[in-house]
Structure 1
Amino acid sequence: MTTDAPAFGKGCHLHLIDGSAFIFRAYHALPPLTRKSDGLPVGAVAGFCNMLWKYVTDEHGSDAPTHAAVIFDHSARTFRNDIYDLYKANRPEPPEDLRPQFPLTRQATRAFNIACIEIEGFEADDIIATLACQARDAGGSVTIISSDKDMMQLVGDGVEMLDPIKGKPIGVDEVREKFGVGPDRVVDVQALAGDSVDNVPGAPGIGIKTAAQLIAEYGDLETLLARADEIKQPKRRQTLIDHAEQIRISRRLVELDCDTPLDFSLQSLEVRDPDPDALLGFLAEMEFRTLSARVAEKLGAKAPVVPSAPPSDVPAAPELPAIASSGHDCVRDRAALDAWVAQIREAGHVAIDTETTGLDEMRADLVGISLAVHAGSACYVPVGHVAGSDDLFGAARLVDGQLPLDEVLTVLKPVLEDPAILKIGQNVKYDWKVLARHGIRMAPVADTMLMSYALNAGTHNHGMDELAERYLAHRCIPIKDVIGSGKSQISFAQVPIDTAAPYAAEDAEVTLRLWQHFAPMLPSEKVTTVYETLERPMVPVLADMEMAGIRVDGETLKRMSTAFAQKMAQLEDEIHALAGETFNIGSPKQLGEILFDRMGLAGGKQGKTGAYSTSADVLADLAVEHDLPARVLDWRQISKLKSTYTDALQGHVNPDTGRVHTSYSIAGAQTGRLASTEPNLQNIPVRSDEGRRIREAFVAADGHRLVSLDYSQIELRILAHVADIPALKQAFRDGIDIHAMTASQMFGVPVEGMDPMIRRQAKAINFGVIYGISGFGLSRNLRIPRAEAQAFIDTYFQRFPEIRAYMDKTVADAKETGFVKTLFGRRINTPGINQSGPAAGGARRAAINAPIQGAAADIIRRAMIRMPDAIRHLPARMLLQVHDELVFEVAEDAVDDLIAVARQIMEGAAEPAMKLSVPLVVDAGSGRNWAEAH
């Protein structure tokens, strides 16, 4: 920077560009891009350069800057972390393909000959605040090019903001519109409302609107806190009294520091023209052909030659050796283990796989660990192989030639927990939990199963054996070749080490090679953000939830089983009375004969065996016409509840923890929905009294309460947003009963005094439309004639034509591209969309629903990923996810605090990636058991 520039003063105009905001805007707005010569990610750099070029070439008119600078954040930790150690703790790590681009954006700024500023320990906002105050005090004017709400406290005489996306100025009026107060009181409002993005705690339960009202009434924050006991509303009064110190800390966190130490002067920021050689040289190095040509033409220089292919002197990637056991070691001594640890540290990554005595991570014993660092080599570290029986009553003993388990874990723990070393797994959540039970929390982790899922959801399965054959042309050793099958199957602990080692080491090497295959595909297929923000961060979150488990009251389950048995007996009597004879209700053959032969009901279809179908769909159709099939459906539901839950759950209680530990599949449903297994806690019916009663058996630990937070009608809200339905959007903004409003618009009846049956019909249609329901399906749900159901749907589309337009466009796009996308970029493949015949209808309905259900799944994933850091200061933990609902266990005296924090996270989960045109609303409840809480 020059030192002989004229002094900054009256008539000078300083532009301060929020560089970090430019970077993230460029990264998320543009598709991934890699430099062809070496595969370096440069998409964010390209977007950043385009934004800078637009800024440099814009005609600013009377607002033209005399001085300018781009300000960056230096690092994540600042002086605010010393004030509050959880500040910004819930922010996810930057995506892997963005990290190497940060220094390149600084180089780009310098190449454009614009001052580039960052200071360790201070945020870009503080540097901007300091420069703005200095420029204003010197008599100049300032424009802050950013839409960051935190900088709105600086707006005032001589200082304005400019939204770089909308191109609109942000002045005092705009600040007042957003916060309800002027810029001088923005900090007070933010201190009360808190900020879930930056993890500023604020006052629980107080939002921007309430905060603005309080500050307007009392004048400023300190006066409000001093007079808090005067507030008439009891809960609000107590919140301010109890959290006064937390609120004051929040104010210190949100108030910008105008005294950041600077080692340069304002005059050194004088605007300078770009140096053509420097700028074009940088653009050529990045291989930005189009921008290079535009810049060269504007600057009157010759465009640089950018090679379209890798230089000839760059060697081709070596062909990898085949996966073979000859490259696999069995580690039996400390020196060999230390050598592998040294390899891991040098490489900075390791593929890891654990071998155990069973599939239940909470109870299985660790038998061995396999590692791979480079293609062509891997190792197996046995620790738990036994001779003889390995059951409790056998004479099992550890075989010789194994390092002690404790020693192996002690040696591996530092590298497995080293944040600088990437741990790669296939379904790594299993290995994470196994090792966590031994005191090792692996971080960071990558998961080849989730990479495949992000790339290929809906096209094939993501198990290692299938992925190895499909992408590596390698057939893995079948597990049955190692442990046998059927009655002769043995535990992995009983497998001889020489047999186990090739199998286990192969798993690690296959995992490593899958990672090497998938990693470069993520940016080229434009799914890096999905993997990095929605898939990979879920691993430790779900692992902790699964390990926490939920307490179940066995006595309550036993009482329910008895009650269900009695209810089934009662239904059996009713069914037999309706049939006029007794028969085995559980026999499809006997039931079919009763319905179609003896009662003569229509619609009977016989299969190859001659027996009639009595599936749920068949019975649902018949239930419209006769009570007997309706009662059979009720009997089947009670029978399922008894066998699947009240009987079976008793066997799922872990004897060591006294809790039930479900397992969540991250890559199960192609829409991103999680699936709960062993046991499945997501399919407990909540629409029936019996199903709701089962939740009574899920109880909180002593001194605690269960808290349930549930998104209200989230899929309908997303539909209103994506289909751009004005009537629904306004109803959601106004907090109107959406089902009553729909019924009123469809059937022309007033909302006041509405017949509950009419509202129920509208509700069924509202939710049915999301799933592309037909008149046939709606007639089943409502148990009404098909013609009447179809008339309801026709009327619905007449009232809301935007929904039909959305459906038609979604299906057309899916037919053209073979996939649909959620709001957050998740790609859901639709392989059957162009088929004909009966399958076409199902594929069409799936394509219509997938972006909506997928977006809902993405939103709750985003909330779950942020939640652990947000509630870390509370005596609480997240236990369950049931689609749109999260269940927590929290100390009795912290229930309200937990609800306030969790609700704020959930309702703001879509942001900043997506600003929905309808609000997300979360209902909350608490109780001694799950039924009371929900």
Structure 2
Amino acid sequence: MPHLYLVDGSGYIFRAYHRLPPLTNKHGEPVGAVYGYTAMLWKLADALHKADGPTHMAVILDKSSHTFRNELYDQYKAHRPPPPEDLVPQFPMIRDATRAFSLPCIEEAGWEADDLIASYTKAALAQGWQVTIVSSDKDLMQLMTDPSVDMLDTMNNRRLGSEAVVEKFGVGPEKLGDVLALMGDSVDNVPGVPGVGPKTAAKLILEHGDVEGVLTAADTMKKGKLRENLIEHAEAARMSRKLVELACDVPLPQPLEELSLADGIPDAPLRAFLEHHGFRTLLSRLGEVADAPVAEAPTDAGFDADEPCKHDDYETVVDMDALDRWITVARHQGWVAIDTETTAKDPMLADLVGVSLALHPNLACYIPLGHGGSDMFAERPPQLDCDVALAKLRPLLEDPGVLKIGHNLKYDMIVLGRLGVDVAPYDDTIVMSFDLDAGLHGHGMDELAATHLSHTCIAYKDVVGTGKKALGFHEVDLKAATRYAAEDADVTLRLWRRFTARLPREGATRVYQMVDRPLVAVIARMERRGIKIDREKLAQLSGDFSTQIAALEGVVHELAGGPFTIGSPKQLGDVLFERMGLKGGRKGKSGVYSTDVNELERLAADRGSPGAEIATKVLEWRQLTKLKNTYTDALQEQINPATGRVHTSYSLTGAQTGRLSSTDPNLQNIPIRTEVGRQIRDAFVAEPGNVILAADYSQIELRLAAHMAEVPQLKEAFARGDDIHSLTAQELFGEVTRDTRASAKTINFAILYGISRWGLAGRLDISADEAQAMIDRYFDRFPGINRYIAETLTQVREHGFTETLFGRKTHFPRIRSKVQHERQGAERAAINAPIQGTSADIIKRAMVRMEPALLEAGLPDVRMLLQVHDELVFELPEGDVERARPVIERVMAGAAEPAVVLDVPLGVEIGVGRSWGEAH
């Protein structure tokens, strides 16, 4: 029997666009969605070829946004935003991709893809064919009234029949259109009936037959909001029924017979398409790799595709003999992938629920240790005793002859470290991915599995549920827990095999081995230590801030001529630009005036105007409110009850230049030079008998710029220990005053961040022409900086990435974007990336070397607690300060060597006090 597959191409396009980073081909065209769409279509075609696949197939696309439904209702899909700028030019290339597979690409003006799919389905059924719709769109589920029609949900790799409609909506496909009409659709702007959701709609349709039956019965329903809405919005419901109904009588653009598939995909057109765009990874599947460079998804050349994950083959280990067997094999082969399952996201609060191991693809297991209900009387499934199992696992996890492989291993190290297990040696695939592909895509396991393995991982929410009914992982049954947990270890192992091969081939081994890999354990120990917080000090600051915030609100309301909600951008915009009549207000697409920081700073800079004072006060109000909410209030809630300390979380992949980023709480955004920032730092204190020591690199980025850009004046000044901003002021302005030094300081840093003439004009409160003249003068005095910027941009445009002195690559896929603001943003980031990235590499090397150096010096009680930008914060006994200070300074000053020898010294400033604020 003929079997027609109809692919909902629009769904594929947007999935591909959001799944991959903004890639460009060798012609400088954006092709992220094209690449993803091509890979997804190939995967589908390959999977169907291996299965009992189609005899006929077509991809159906939307031709235009205006269809007959817009004639019925002019607001249909009116709220949908236009497609992203960089996606629009990819639509024709996606059509080319479809034809490259020798598949019909069907679209028709005035009709939606859903209508074409419905019409082809009806025509195929009339000839006795089977039909599979490749989509998970709820509107298309209306077509499954005939048992010969099903749907293939490739996102979740499952077939859907009419029973799936009943399960999701409570009615069969034949009644689905009525349910959709009543509930409406905010995405397509189908009005429906207010207050009617899926469950209510299904109940009404089952009781009254269809939309018209529901509306007829509305008068007889009990009084209430539902009855009122059905009566008031009856016409909207009738119109909605027409909008959701699929047109099944569209003339077919191509006859069914022309959709017939040949045997396999013809090689020539597909090869020509892939070669044109330089898609090397995909070309390798045809047995040849293109020579042309392209910023495409990372290549895994040299690896055959692993067989799919076989979740039913994973083992649940519930007896000691089985555990001994897994441990023996792991020790014999010398490597094992590990993962932990816990009760919480915070590793300092989480209890261990289980451990998963993987030895080879599809050879993985889950060891449950803490499953069972939440109360003491709940039944516990068969599982190993946690203490006994850990006693068996500890020698393996600490064995120096067995490599442990994890993904975001820092989390597992903290959880296991709290239980007395010190995991070593190790590889971390999230760090490996970052060192290979920073800037190209995210580094979470799900995204990496999709990108490198063409595998969709089981979603955590599909295992535990969502909302109020969500389970803890310890409450999940062992079969589901094993499928999820063992898959994590399995996928981690598969990723490690690929990344291990790529590191030396792509020149990333050096930065991985010398900088990032050893840092994982260091960061884990820092996070476990945390830092003590003075709760009373924070409470006092919160009270002080509340008083100041209230006073500022009074001043702002008086200046505005009446009260309003300062935190509401809409109300603030209306007050500034309508009630007060200030000039220059600009509205966004939503019709609301912009009141962002740039707009308020513009108003504040216009001294003497009515807007200057109110804008200044609003900015002060915003800063105090943010600091109160983010720090003085929130930090009190984030004190760990067991340790009495705050334990921030550091991400090694959070900033694409290689800098560490801090969250929960974010300690890197506390203002550095303000009195308010110092007050907050005063709440970070040492234990009795101890002090806080803060060691900060002095102007490290300017020092690195002097070295990397070969600027003799700056190198000589740093060697002499001169004030670099005074030197710049003398070079640019011919004199050093407080004002010229302040301007020089702004220019020194701004130029390294690729600032534009308009940006510098805003910083210095001068005209754009004056700012350009200043930039020109700066480059004239320091030509090495200008040369460095030009060479950096040339390299990144040619190769797609920049490099630090330690070989860290940062990719900039938007560097050849045709969208101006995207391209300029990439250029500015690329100018600073080698300098900021080298600075990050140096402080990371200092952190890795610090603990061994302190131990060697007989200072085991000096503990590194925090890293904030260019600063390291320690807690130590008061009597150890004089011995610790030279050790810390020596390690930080020499951190680059011997891998990199700098032409300038690295200055280190050290302060000591009872609190971080006092030491800073």
Q: What TM-score comes out, normalization by structure 1 length? A: 0.64
Which residue of the other structure, out of 736, 744, 755, is the alignment partner of 1:762? 744
- CA shift, 1:322, in A, is 2.2
State the 1:769 CA deviation: 1.1
**Match status 1:431 vs 2:412:** yes
Q: Is 1:709 aligned to residue 695 of structure 2?
A: yes
Q: In structure 2, do the counterparts of structure 1 residues 792 and 622 end up closer, same or farther at CA, with 3 Å as the change threshold?
A: farther
User: Which one of 568, 578, 588 corresponds to residue 607 of structure 1?
Assistant: 588
Which residue is 2:429 aligned to?
A: 448
Q: Which residue of 1 is the match for residue 887 of structure 2?
A: 901
* Structure 1 partner of 2:497: 516
- What is the deviation of 1:849? 0.5
Q: Larger deviation: 572-581 or 455-464?
A: 572-581
Q: Equivalent residue for 2:790?
A: 808
CA distance in structure 2 between the partners assigned to 1:344 and 1:911 by the alignment: 37
> Per-residue CA shift, 1:198-243, capped at 9, x if unaligned?
xxxxxxxxxxxxxxxxxxxxxxxxxxxxxxxxxxxxxxxxxxxxxx
User: Which one of 815, 820, 829 corresponds to residue 802 of structure 2?
Assistant: 820
Which SS does the other structure have where 2:696 is aligned?
A: strand
Alpha-carbon separation, structure 2, partners of 1:670 and 1:558: 36
Q: Which among 821, 825, 834 is matched to residue 842 of structure 1?
A: 825
TM normalised by structure 2 equals: 0.65
Match of 1:888 among 852, 874, 884: 874
Q: 1:655 aligns with which of 630, 633, 641?
A: 641
Match of 2:466 in 1: 485
Structure 2 equivalent of residue 368 of structure 1: 354
Question: Which of 885, 906, 909 matches 1:923?
Answer: 909
- For the residues of structure 2 that align with 1:545 and 1:921, how far apart are their CA atoms? 24
Render the CA deviation track for 1:148-199: whole Å, top value 9, x for unaligned.
xxxxxxxxxxxxxxxxxxxxxxxxxxxxxxxxxxxxxxxxxxxxxxxxxxxx
1:398 Cα deviation (Å)?
5.8
Alignment of 1:156-555 (within 5 A): 320-387=306-373, 390=374, 394-395=375-376, 397=378, 399-555=380-536
Q: 1:27 maps to which residue? A: none
Distance in 1, matches of 2:450 and 2:426, equals 24
- In the aligned structure 2, how far is the partner of 1:807 from the partner of 1:396? 68
State the Cα deviation string for residues 781-803 of structure 1 (Å, max 9, x = none). 34455454444333322322221
Structure 1 residues 252-276: Cα deviation after superposition (integer angstroms, max 9, x where no partner): xxxxxxxxxxxxxxxxxxxxxxxxx
SS of corresponding position for 1:887: strand
Distance 2:705 2:433 in 1: 28
Give the Å deviation of 1:692: 1.6
Instruction: Report deviation, 1:897.
Output: 1.4
Q: 1:914 aligns with which of 900, 903, 909?
A: 900
CA drift of 1:595 comes to 2.1
Partner of 2:715: 729
Equivalent of 1:862 in 845, 856, 861: 845
Tell me how far 1:710 sits from its aligned partner. Answer: 0.1
Give the distance between the partners of 2:305 and 2:537, measured in 1 at CA. Answer: 62
Structure-2 separation of matches of 1:592 and 1:703: 52
CA deviation map 1:705-733 (0-9, x unaligned): 00000000000001111111111111111
Contact kept, 8 Å, 1:384 with 1:398, in 2: the verdict is: no
Residue 634 of structure 1 is aligned with which of 610, 613, 620? 620
**Aligned-residue offset at 1:688:** 1.4
Does the 8 Å contact 1:361/1:434 carry over to 2? yes
The DSSP-based 3-state class of the residue aligned with 1:644 is helix
Between the aligned partners of 1:627 and 1:792, the Cα distance in structure 2 is: 30
Q: Report the count of equivalent residues.
A: 610
Deviation at 1:572, TM superposition (A): 2.2
State the one-letter code of the partner of 2:467: G
Could you tell which deviates more after superposition, 606-615 or 570-579?
A: 570-579
- Cα distance, 1:360 vs. partner? 0.5
Aligned with 2:588: secondary structure? coil
Instruction: Give, in angstroms, the shift of residue 685 of structure 1.
Output: 0.7
In the alignment, structure 1 segments of 5+ residues that lack a partner are 1-315
The residue type paired with residue 695 of structure 1 is R
* Cα gap change, 1:684 to 1:639, in 2 (>3 Å): same
Query: Is contact 2:306-2:453 (8 Å) kept?
Result: no
CA–CA separation in structure 2 for the residues paired with 1:317 and 1:555 = 58
Residue of structure 2 in register with 1:666 after alignment: 652
Separation (CA, whole Å) in 2 of partners of 1:784 and 1:430: 49
Cα distance, 1:570 vs. partner? 2.5
Q: What's the secondary structure of 1:611's corresponding residue?
A: coil
**Residue 574 (structure 1) shift:** 3.0
Secondary structure of 1:551 counterpart: strand
- Asked if structure 2 preserves the Cα contact closer than 8 Å seen for 1:382 and 1:497, the reply is yes
Distance 1:437 1:444 in 2: 18
Partner secondary structure for residue 531 of structure 1: helix
User: How large is the RMSD of aligned CA atoms in angstroms?
Assistant: 1.5
Displacement of 1:809 in angstroms is 1.3
CA distance in 2, matches of 1:846, 1:799: 23
In the superposition, relative to structure 1, how do residues 381 and 841 fare at CA in structure 2: closer, same or farther (>3 Å)?
same
Q: 2-side partners of 1:788 and 1:377: how far apart?
A: 67
Tell me which amino acid in the other structure corresponds to 2:448. L
Identical positions, percent: 53
Decide whether the 8 Å contact of 1:385 with 1:398 is kept in 2.
no
Q: Which runs of 5 or more structure 2 residues have no equivalent in the other structure? A: 1-301, 607-611
1:547-586 equivalences under 5 Å are 547-586=528-567
CA contact (8 A) 1:624 1:784 kept: no
TM-fit CA distance, 1:672: 0.4
Measured in 1, the distance between the counterparts of 2:547 and 2:761 equals 31
Once the two structures are superposed, residues 827-872 of structure 1 have per-residue CA deviations (whole angstroms, 9 ceiling, x without a partner) of 0101111113111211110000000100000000010010111112
Deviation sequence 1:299-354 (CA, Å, 0-9, x none): xxxxxxxxxxxxxxxxx988743211132100000000000011111110100000
Contact map agreement 1:776 1:786 (CA 8 A) in 2: yes
1:85 alignment partner in structure 2: none
Q: Tell me the SS of whatever aligns to 1:612.
A: coil
Q: Residue 697 of structure 1 contacts residue 929 of structure 1 at CA under 8 Å; is this kept in 2?
A: yes
What residue identity is the alignment partner of 1:445?
Answer: Y
Counterpart residue identity of residue 856, structure 1: S
Q: Cα gap change, 1:524/1:317 in structure 2, threshold over 3 Å: closer, same or farther?
A: closer
Per the TM alignment, residue 928 of structure 1 is displaced from its structure 2 partner at its CA by: 0.2
Q: How far apart are the structure 2 equivalents of 1:398 and 1:414?
A: 31
Matched residue type, 2:685 = V
Measured in 1, the distance between the counterparts of 2:350 and 2:442 equals 25
- Counterparts of 1:398 and 1:804, CA distance in 2: 70
Is 2:463–2:480's contact at 8 Å kept on the other side of the alignment?
yes
Which amino acid letter does the alignment assign opposite residue 686 of structure 1?
A: I
Distance in 1 (alpha carbons) for counterparts of 2:306 and 2:767: 64
Shift of 1:400: 3.2
Tell whether the 8 Å contact from 1:616 to 1:633 is kept in structure 2 after alignment.
yes
- Deviations for 1:373-393, whole angstroms, at most 9, x for unmatched residues? 122210000000013xx2xxx
Is contact 2:303-2:498 (8 Å) kept? no
**Matched-pair contact (CA < 8 Å) for 1:422–1:443:** yes
Cα 1:762–1:556 shift into 2, 3 Å:
same
Q: Is the 8 A contact 1:815 1:833 kept in 2?
A: yes
CA displacement at 1:687 relative to structure 2: 2.1
